[in-house]
Amino acid sequence: MKRLGWAGLGLALAVLATAVLVPNTTLAWLRVESPLLSEGINRVEALWPAADTVHMLAFAVLGVIARLALPRTRAGWIILGVLLFSIVTELLQFYVPGRTPLVSDVRDNMLGLVAGLGFISLILWLYRHLTQRFG
């Protein structure tokens, strides 16, 4: 089970790194070729126009996966690791055609991460509480 958690975390990080380091022309092509993907992105973007909700959702999912893969690791270490990952991927966008590194993307990534960590922590707490009480 431990390997599955690490594999999931590695896959999530690889997918995120790929998504943020792909040139804009490739992203535009993907959205044209996959209307379902494009519609999904449009719906997520419309949730909260003031922030990059796609980043927030992606990093919330990363937070859930990271907590499940690293159950004994303090949340602060997970947050620090993902913050470094987020900063590095944003800085690498200086070298990706059509991409612009933004501090607001790092902010939105971290908001999503904290939301994901909070969500899964609440679910795990409820699970432990209910299984102790009724289990």
The domain spans of the chain are 2-134
Residue 134: its pLDDT value, please?
85
Using CA atoms, how far residue 6 sits from 17, 35, 48, 115, in Å, is 16, 31, 31, 21
Residue 1: its pLDDT value, please?
58
Tokens of 43: 């719906």
Binned average pLDDT, 10 residues per bin, the chain of 135 residues: 83 92 92 92 88 94 96 96 97 94 96 97 94 83
- Closest by CA position to 10, among listed 58, 60, 59, 62: 62
In the predicted model, what is the mean pLDDT of the chain?
93
CA distance 19 to 52: 14
Residue 86: its pLDDT value, please?
97
Residue 135: its pLDDT value, please?
66
CA distance 59 to 86: 10
Using CA atoms, how far residue 75 sits from 28, 36, 54, 83, in Å, is 35, 34, 22, 12
Using CA atoms, how far residue 48 sits from 33, 44, 94, in Å, is 25, 8, 26
Could you report the per-residue pLDDT of 70-108, keeping only the tens digit for each? 999 999 999 999 999 999 999 999 999 999 999 999 999
The pTM score is 0.90
